[in-house]
């Protein structure tokens, strides 16, 4: 299971099971890869109408990328965004397996 922890210095650390068949793809990702994935997923959610403020979130991320790759969210907000993404992906997987 992918997990995000906010560190004392307000940075975030992402944890995953390096041996999990699905999660092991993250073993080679860079910080930029994670940022791009988050931005792309937020954009997709907004286009699907699942997330109304994705553009604002993407703009906030972009602003912080320009300021030393810092994302200005609380751990609770990041975890909520991740849970929303997990729920969306799980729903997509369920729909695909039914077709």
Instruction: Classify residue 14: in a domain, yes or no.
Output: no
24-34 pLDDT tens trace: 888 898 888 88
Q: What is the rounded CA–CA span in Å between residue 84 and residue 70?
A: 21
**Predicted pLDDT at 91:** 81
**Predicted pLDDT at 13:** 84
pTM of the model: 0.47
Instruction: Classify residue 51: in a domain, yes or no.
Output: yes
Radius of gyration of the chain (CA): 14
Q: What is the rounded CA–CA span in Å between residue 32 and residue 90?
A: 24
Listed range (3-7, 43-47, 81-85) with the worst mean pLDDT: 43-47
Q: What residue numbers bound the domain in which 62 lies?
A: 30-97
- Domains of the chain: total: 1
Instruction: Classify residue 23: in a domain, yes or no.
Output: no
**Predicted pLDDT at 94:** 73
pLDDT tier at 57, thresholds 50, 70, 90: low
Instruction: Classify residue 74: in a domain, yes or no.
Output: yes
Instruction: Classify residue 16: in a domain, yes or no.
Output: no
């Amino acid at each position: 299971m992918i997990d995000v922890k906010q560190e004392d210095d307000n940075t975030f650390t992402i944890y995953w099971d390096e041996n999990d068949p699905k999660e092991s793809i993250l073993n080679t990702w860079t910080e930029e890869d994670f940022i791009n994935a988050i931005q792309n997923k937020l954009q997709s959610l907004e286009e699907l109408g699942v997330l109304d403020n994705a553009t604002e979130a993407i703009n906030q991320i972009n602003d912080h990328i320009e300021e030393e790759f810092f994302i200005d969210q609380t751990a609770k907000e990041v975890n909520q965004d991740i849970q929303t993404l997990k729920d969306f992906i799980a729903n997509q997987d369920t729909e695909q397996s039914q077709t």
